[in-house]
Amino acid sequence: MNTGMVGAIAPSSRYLAAEMIRGLDLQHAKAVLEYGPGSGVFTDAILPRLGKDTKYLPIELNEEMVAAFKKRHPNVPLVHDSVENARKICDDHGIDQVDYIICGLPWASFPEALQVRILEGVTKVLKPGGTLVTFGYHVGTLMPAGKRFARLLPRYFSSMSRTPVIWRNIPPAFVLRGTR
Ligand SMILES: C[S@@+](CC[C@H](N)C(=O)[O-])C[C@H]1O[C@@H](n2cnc3c(N)ncnc32)[C@H](O)[C@@H]1O
């Protein structure tokens, strides 16, 4: 497996999954994207909260993860592609703008050019007032790529927030929310 792409030693916990979706009005959202769902831990928390007309699209690049996701969620259509192509993927699925992006990408493993490409792509699909929710590992804040990402984020959002560390997740993590 490409560990730089996956960027995790274990799937996220239900504690982190609960914090990722806390406060999101998924019930009334028109469209929701999930970036890098992996085996589908956040998906478990997202699916029961979606409205009946909400379009939900998970986008996963890694072949092994695609297989694991399909096993866990055989009835959920998954896009096997890079989130760098989010605009085209939305166009192909008749989605103009999305209310939320729930993101499990390992930002601190990404080179800056990729971080920027993905964030530029976010601004092309996320509606004004829409929110990107993502997480970082506590240890990642010490890594150069983690620091770079923290500096980049405010360029793309009008407001940002960060939760306290969720110690029950292994490794400990925090959630970041950016609203356009
Ligand atoms: C840290 S794992 C998170 C998985 C799951 N959301 C969780 O929290 O347990 C990151 C996921 O992002 C996927 N990923 C990495 N780069 C990607 C890209 N450019 N487009 C889509 N998925 C990507 C990886 O394959 C991996 O499944």
- List, for residues 53-90, the tens digit of each pLDDT value: 999 999 999 999 999 999 999 999 999 999 999 999 99
Tokens (6 digits) for 157: 């959002």
Smallest Cα–Cα separation from 118: which of 153, 67, 154?
153
Is residue 104 lining ligand 1, measured as CB closer than 6 Å? yes
Task: Kindly report the pTM of this predicted structure.
Answer: 0.95
The domains located in the chain, with CATH, are: 3-179 (3.40.50.150)
For range 14-21, the mean pLDDT: 97
Residue 6's pLDDT band, with cuts at 50, 70 and 90, is low
CA of 35 to the centre of ligand 1 (A): 7
Most confident residue range from 17-21, 138-142, 144-148: 17-21
Is residue 6 lining ligand 1, measured as CB closer than 6 Å? yes
Q: Strands 126-137 and 173-179: what pairing?
A: antiparallel
Cβ atoms of residues 95 and 55 within 8 Å: yes
Starting from the edge strand earliest in sequence, which strands make up the sheet with 98-103, in order?
79-80, 55-60, 31-35, 98-103, 126-137, 173-179, 159-162
Query: 93 vs 90, 110, 128, CA distance in Å?
Result: 5, 27, 20
Tokens (6 digits) for 85: 């192509």
- List, for residues 86-118, the tens digit of each pLDDT value: 999 999 999 999 999 999 999 988 999 999 999
pLDDT score of 11: 85
Helix (H) or strand (E) holding 44, with range, is helix 41-46
pLDDT score of 4: 64
Q: Strands 173-179 and 159-162: what pairing?
A: antiparallel
CA of 104 to the centre of ligand 1 (A): 6
Residue 141's pLDDT band, with cuts at 50, 70 and 90, is confident
Of ligand 1's listed atoms, the one at least distance from the Cα of 17 is 8
Of ligand 1's listed atoms, the one at least distance from the Cα of 7 is 1
Tokens (6 digits) for 161: 């927030």
83 contacts: CB under 8 Å, gap ≥ 6:
33, 35, 36, 59, 61, 105, 118, 121
Is residue 131 lining ligand 1, measured as CB closer than 6 Å? no
Q: What is the mean pLDDT of the chain?
A: 94
CA of 40 to the centre of ligand 1 (A): 10
